[in-house]
Structure 1
Amino acid sequence: MRQWWEEIAGLVLPVDCAGCGRPRTRLCEGCAQALYGSGAQRVRPVPEPPGLPPVFAAAPYANGPRAVLLGHKERGALPSARPLGAALAEAVRAAAAFRPASVVRPASVVHPASVVRPASVVRPASVVRAAGTTARGGGGGPLLLVPVPSARRAVRARGHDPGRRIATAAAAELRRTGTPARVLPVLRQRGRVADQAALTAAERLDNMAGALELVPGGGRLLDGWLRDGWPREGGRPVLVDDLMTTGASLAEAARALATALPAGRRGIPAAVVCAPAMSFELNRNGRGTCIVAGGES
């Protein structure tokens, strides 16, 4: 009940910024720009786990974006789902537009300086839209946002499922801006998975190996959305999560989801709200050399 009263009060009373704590605003201009104002980029963890799909993130996991994400995830700041959903929607657009055969540079979406809330964001007509969808809902099937499932005990402890809540907000933002989208929660944890906070990258891979599976009937549900010639006409799935660190969870989710797809349809991209700053800075060229801030190493 306390959380419900806090949400209701937040609609009519001034509150602190969820990112920097500045009073009298839901999310200040600077934190909004840092979270969803710069366009999504492809990110790669180091080391990159086997089976990791192409991943796009909206913001580095630092400063304001980190505070907003942690506030929503761990402290029950439920209204933050809306700006986090706007950030995830940017990453989903970039992920759905990605094609492995060519280098895709997601269009940078420049938000007006006055933007504070996602509802006021004005997106230019040139914003990248996924293949198989058209502006204002015409054309092919929707984007299918498949959340990486949270552990049941974590959902019970927090009182909500932050990843699924953000995915729902992202789907609403996509629909609001003309891209058909829906959340398709077809994955679940197979058994008990250890808390990954204190694990190394290798330990996280071992911890997540075989940990996810399709929910009963998930394969039929997914096939129903894909049957009309995906990705040209049917829905296009995109794995979504709030945060990528080592990539172990996304790699396992891609494996589990691929079990329900024919071999020719398994190139499923992923989108997250945040990733470590290093994942944005490091990219690999064709020779396996790391390119860091414009120079090779």
Structure 2
Amino acid sequence: MVAMRGWWRDLTDLVLPAECGGCGRARSVLCPRCRTALNGGAPRRVRPVPEPSGLPVVHAAARYADEVRAALLAHKERGVLALAAPLGAALAGAVRAGLREAGTGVGGLGPVRGRGPVLLVPVPSARRAVRTRGHDPARRIALAAAGELRRTGTSARVLAVLRQRYAVADQSGLGARQRLDNLAGALAVVPGGGRLLCGGGPVVLVDDLMTTGASLTEAARAVRAANRTVKSAVYPAVAGEGREERKTGPRMAGSNGGGGVIREAICAAVVAASPDSFEINRN
């Protein structure tokens, strides 16, 4: 009986955590104050400094600080899986903001017409981290975000097609340049994944957090490489882009797929980004 009570308590804590993931308030997955910190503001365009060459346009739902930081760490490191739903809702908001800015006719403005669903591609965690944590945080949040997008009228699906080609060093403690070097060439799209990416709608790289932008930059490189391999016209090659494109980063293709400026059908969205990255209009 005692063992049964312990098992039931563990199951209850999985479904309804003993405390708020943001502030520790009792018996709440995420209390109203912490939900406001996560979802209370409009998602914003974010840009790290220095900005890596090849980083897609990124939108974030919230600043990585205080309650938002605590909630992300609780989900990622402590396995508070019930937080995936509110974190996914925040990520869905950032995805919508990116799609609106890109002018795709989606992002809360209706479904993608004639191009297939929005494709959410999560940045994968290292295999050893997944084993240690028992789950892949970015993929779990992406699945919750796709469900939220579908619930609000935007067709979306998760394509977990990125894999690490080899083990990389722990990113903690590394500077921006070191992180880029550490991840260079580390990701690849699984065989057949490029065709899946080409056959859908806009591609949105997603992650729980952006600090230096190194992970999203490497993920974007891997997606572009896969699509060049299958000779797709959806993604233009990075080589030969002009100074302005290097400065502002890749932009998503319009829904008509022709005429005007040739743009890239890829952007990125994260739950949170470093506070400094929200100041994109600096000189």
For the 8 Å contact 1:133–1:142, the answer to whether it is kept is no
State the SS of the aligned residue for 2:121: strand
2:88 corresponds to: 85
Give distance in 2, aligned partners of 1:76 and 1:6.
15
TM-score by length of 2: 0.80
TM-score by length of 1: 0.77
Give distance in 1, aligned partners of 2:211 and 2:97.
19
Question: Is structure 2 residue 23 aligned with structure 1 residue 23?
Answer: no
2:205 corresponds to: 239
1:68 corresponds to: 71
Question: Is structure 2 residue 135 aligned with structure 1 residue 160?
Answer: yes
State the SS of the aligned residue for 2:226: coil
Deviations 1:264-296 (A, max 9, x none): 563411000010111113424xxxx1xxxxxxx
State the identity %: 64
2:54 to 31, 51, 55: 51
Instruction: Give the superposition deviation at 1:5.
Output: 5.4
CA separation of 1:5 and 1:44: change in aligned 2, threshold 3 A: farther
Give distance in 2, aligned partners of 1:242 and 1:6.
28
For the 8 Å contact 2:43–2:60, the answer to whether it is kept is yes
CA separation of 1:14 and 1:260: change in aligned 2, threshold 3 A: closer
State the SS of the aligned residue for 1:154: helix
Deviations 1:66-111 (A, max 9, x none): 0100000000100000000001000010112223xxxx9xxxxxxx
Instruction: Give the superposition deviation at 1:17.
Output: 1.2
Instruction: Give the superposition deviation at 1:220.
Output: 1.9
1:238 counterpart letter in structure 2: V
1:196 counterpart letter in structure 2: Q
1:17 counterpart letter in structure 2: C
For the 8 Å contact 2:146–2:157, the answer to whether it is kept is yes
Give distance in 1, aligned partners of 2:208 and 2:110.
26
Give distance in 1, aligned partners of 2:110 and 2:265.
26
Tell me the matched-pair count: 246
Question: Is structure 2 residue 253 aligned with structure 1 residue 255?
Answer: no
Question: Is structure 2 residue 281 aligned with structure 1 residue 283?
Answer: yes
1:84 counterpart letter in structure 2: L
CA separation of 1:204 and 1:26: change in aligned 2, threshold 3 A: same
Give distance in 2, aligned partners of 1:133 and 1:279.
22
Superposed CA RMSD: 2.4
Instruction: Give the superposition deviation at 1:223.
Output: 2.4
Give distance in 1, aligned partners of 2:162 and 2:149.
22
Question: Is structure 2 residue 121 aligned with structure 1 residue 146?
Answer: yes
2:252 corresponds to: none
2:195 corresponds to: 220
Instruction: Give the superposition deviation at 1:240.
Output: 0.3
Question: Is structure 2 residue 232 aligned with structure 1 residue 270?
Answer: no
| Ranges in structure 2 where 5+ consecutive residues have no aligned partner | 1-5, 228-232, 237-261
Instruction: Give the superposition deviation at 1:21.
Output: 0.7
Give distance in 2, aligned partners of 1:28 and 1:154.
28
